[in-house]
Amino acid sequence: MLFNSFEFLLFYIIVSVLFFIISNKWRWLLLLIASYIFYSSWSISYLGLIVISTIVTYYSGILLDKQNSNVDKPETTRNKNKHSIVAASLIINLGILFFFKYYNFAATSVNSIIPNTLPFIDSLLPVVGISFYTFQALSYTMDVYNGKIKAQHHIGKYALFVSFFPQLIAGPIEKAANLLPQFDKSTKFDYQRVRSGVLLMVWGVFKKVVVADHLGIFVSKVYENPESTSGIIPIIATLFFAIQLYIDFSSYSDIAIGAAKVFGYKLTINFKRPYLSTSFGDFWKRWHISLNAWFMEYLYIPLGGNRNKYSRTIINIIIVFLISGLWHGASWNFVIWGAINAFYLLVLDRLLFSIKNKKPLSLLKKMFRGTVIMLFWSLSLVFFRADNFTDAITIYGNLSFTDNQQLYDFGLNQLTFKFVLGIFFIIYVVELFQELGYTSDNIFRAPLIVRWSIYLLLPLAIIYLGAYGSELADSSFIYFQF
C-alpha cells in the first residue's frame, strides 16, 4: 500500500474519520489495527517479525525497569542483569535483521573466499521497513536501560509505537520519549492543524509523482545498462539521482509527518534542506536526521565520540559511516559509499570548507557551498544506485563531458525533461524561502486567491502531470528497500 496510491488515500480517509469519531480511549487500538493492516498489505508474513520485535523489546523494557527500581539488590548484580537483558534484546532483534537482510550477502561474501561454506537461500526476500522498526524498537530498549525513560506497561500502545503506520516503512525513526506520550493525549479535530497536515501530505505526493518518479525514469534507463551509455548522459543521470533520492525520501517524510499531524501527533523532522549545507558536517545534520541522530547516540558516543585522541575520533567516524552504509543495503557498494562519505567529512571539509568558522553565511554562499557539496555527494551515489561494483566502476569510467548520445532517448522527451527541471527549480526556490524562515503558515495567511490556487493546483498536478504508465518501472519509495 503505497502512500502515492488510491488504496492508501481511501485507507487513510477511513482511518482518519474513525479516529475523530471514536473515544480517545480506544484510538490507540484503531491505529494499531490500521498499522497492522497497512503493514500486512505488503505481506502477511511480515507481521510475525514485527510482533516478535515488539514482544521482545516490550518485555526487555519491563525487566530493565524492574532492575532500575530494585534497590534491594547490589548495583553490580543489577548491572549484570541489565547487561544480560539488553544483550538478549540486541541479539534477537539484530539476529532477525541480519538473517532476513544480510544472510545471503554474508553467504556470498564468505563463499567468494571459501567456496561452498554457507548455503544461499533463494527464497529469502527482503522485509519492507525492517531496518527502521528494528532501530526504533532497540532505541527504546537502550533508553530504558540508560534510565532515560520509564518502561511502557501498556503493551498495545507500545506495539503502536513500533508499528505506527505513517512512519513505519521509512521513518522518521522515532524516540519513545517523543512518540509514546503523544498516544496518551486527547486530541480534537482542529481545522488549522488538519489543513496544515493535509497540505504537507499533498505536497509530498506532488514531489514524489511529479518530480522524483519522472527523474527515476531517466536514471533507471541509464543505470540498467551502464555499459551502453557514456559521455554526459551518465553525469546527468547521476545528478538526477541525487535530486531524485532527496525528493523521493523527503516526500515520504512529508507525507508521514503530515499524516501524523492530522491525528494531532508530531513526528521528527527528517530533512532540513541538505542541498543548502555549508559543509559535509552540516549536510549530515540536515540529511536523514533521525537515522544520523540514532547513530550518534547509540553508536558514535558509546564508541567514545570525540572525547579521546583525534586518531580515535577518526576511527569512530569511519566505523559509523561504514555501518551506516551497510544499514542502507546488503552490498559492498553501500559500504564503499559509506567510506567515501567518511572521507568527505574527514578530509574535504578541512580542505574546502572552514568548519571552524562559526560566522553565519549569506544565502548566496549557502547556495554555492550546497551546490559543491551536492556535486561530491552525487559522485558517491554512483555506488548507492548501481546494482553492483562492476556497474559502478563502469559508470565512473564512462563519465565525460562529451555529447555522443541523444539526451531525450532515455524515457523523457524534451518537453517532460525541461518541465521536471522547472518543477525542481520551484521546489528549490521554496526551500530557499524556508531557509529564510518562511513556513506553511505564510501560505495560510496569503490572500484567498493565492491559497486556493495552491490547494487546487497541487492535486491537479498530481493527477495530470504525475509519472504513470509503462515507462515507470517502479513507483515505490526508494527507501522502502532499506
The active-site residue out of 83, 153, 288, 328 is 328
Cell of 57: 523489546
Please state at what angle helix 232-263 crosses helix 191-206, rounded to 10 degrees: 160
The residue whose grid cell reads 583525534 is 310
Helices (H), 170-231: 176-179, 191-206, 213-224
Maximum alpha-carbon separation in the chain:
78
- How far is it, in rounded angstroms, from Cα 159 to Cα 51? 8
Phi, psi of 235 (to 5 degrees): -65, -50
As to burial, measured by CB atoms within 10 angstroms (0-12 exposed, 13-18 middle, 19+ buried), residue 460 is exposed
Cα angle 410, 414, 384 (rounded to 5 degrees) comes to 40
Give the CA count within 13 Å in the CB-facing half-sphere of 459: 8
Phi, psi of 301 (to 5 degrees): -65, -45
> Active site includes 153?
no
H/E element, 51: helix 46-69
- How far is it, in rounded angstroms, from Cα 1 to Cα 480? 12
> Could you give the dihedral angle defined by the CA atoms of residues 375, 378, 383 and 384, in that order, rounded to the nearest 10 degrees?
150
User: Any residues with CB less than 8 A from the CB of 465 and at least 6 apart, and which?
Assistant: 210, 419
- How far is it, in rounded angstroms, from Cα 388 to Cα 371? 27
Closest CA to 143 of 132, 133, 152: 152
Closest CA to 126 of 208, 49, 27, 222: 49
What are the residue numbers of the active site? 328
